[in-house]
Amino acid sequence: MPQIFAYAQESANASNPDDKTFAMSTLRSLFSLGFLVGPLVGTLFLKWLGYKGLFLGTTAIYLTIASLVFLFLQKKAVERNTGKRKNTGTASFKNRQIWQPFIAFIFLFAVVTINSFNTPLFIVNELHGTHTDVGLVVSVCAGLEIPIMLVLGALGRKISNHTLMMIACVIAVIYYTVLSVSTHSWQLIAAQVLQATFIAIVSGNGLSYFMNLMPNLPGLSTTIYSNGSIIGRLVGNVGGGMIAQFAGFRPVYWACLAIVILSLFILWRTSPHEEMEAQIGHTRSE
C-alpha cells in the first residue's frame, strides 16, 4: 500500500494537478470505500459459493488488479526524479520535524483503533445499549467518513495539512470528552460526526501531510505514514485492551483523551516553516 500511494504522488507530480491534496484524499477515500464494500461482497460470496468460491473470487480480484497494473500503469512515473532522491532519505528522517509527527501519528492511529473495539463493548456493558445502537455507531461513522474526507481534501488548497491535523486533535479532544462523560447510547451516536471528521483528517490529509514534508521522497513519506498506522493499530489493540481489562471501559476514553492532548502538543511544536528552514539548511551544508 505505501508504494501505491508513492506511485499516485509520482503520477500527480507528472500531471501537475491544481490540488494534489484533493487527489490523494480521493485515493485514500477509495481505500475506506473498499473496507466498506469488501465485507459485504465477501459475505455474499461466502453465502452463495462457500469458502472455495470466496477464495477463488479473491484470486480473481487480484488477477484483475495485476492485469490493470500491467496494461495501464506507466513505468516512467516510478523512475521519475530518482537521481534527485539519492542519499536524502536517511537525513530527512533524522530531522525531528519528521519523526516527531511520526510519533504523533502512531498515537492518533492508536486511539482510532482503541475507539473501534472499545465503543461497542462500552455501549453494551456500561450503557446497557442494544446491538442496534452498536450498528448505528459504526454505520454513522463509516457513512460520514468518506464524504468528509473528500470535502477536507478539497479544502487542502485553502488550509494547510498541518493546520488540519491540529484541528483533528482538537476535535478528538471534544469527542473523547463527550464519551468519557456519556450516559446514553444516543450521545455516542451523535458524537460519531466528530469521530468521522477526525478519522477523515488523519487518514486522508495525514498522507498528504508527510508527502508535503518530503516532496522528493514519495516512497519514504508514504512508508512512514503506513508504518505509523500499522504501529498505531498494534499499540492501540494491546494497550487499549490492557486498560479495559484492568480499569474498565470508561477509563479507556480517559487514556485516549490524554494521548490526543499529547499528540496535539507534539504537532503544535512541529511547524512546517521550521521544516522548510531545516531542509534548506541541510541542502546548503551539502
- The Cα 133–Cα 31 span in angstroms is 26
Taking CA 211 as the corner, what is the angle to CA 87 and CA 256, rounded to the nearest 5 degrees?
115
The answer, yes or no, to whether residue 80 has pLDDT greater than 60, is: no
Query: Is-contact 140 189, C-beta < 8 A?
Result: yes
Which of 196, 202, 169 is CA-nearest to residue 188? 196
Where do we find the cell 512546517?
A: 272
**Residue ranges per structural domain of the chain:** 83-285
Domain 83-285 classification at class level: mainly alpha
pLDDT of amino acid 104: 94
Could you tell me the pTM of the whole model? 0.77
| Contact of 80 with 13, CB cutoff 8 Å | yes
Amino acid making up residue 16: N
Condensed to tens digits (0 to 9), the pLDDT of residues 81-107 reads 444 444 444 445 567 778 889 999 999
Nearest-CA neighbor of 212 among 48, 71, 14, 19?
A: 19
**Digit-coded pLDDT (tens) for 42-70:** 888 888 999 999 999 999 999 999 999 88
Q: What is the mean pLDDT of residues 164-171?
A: 93
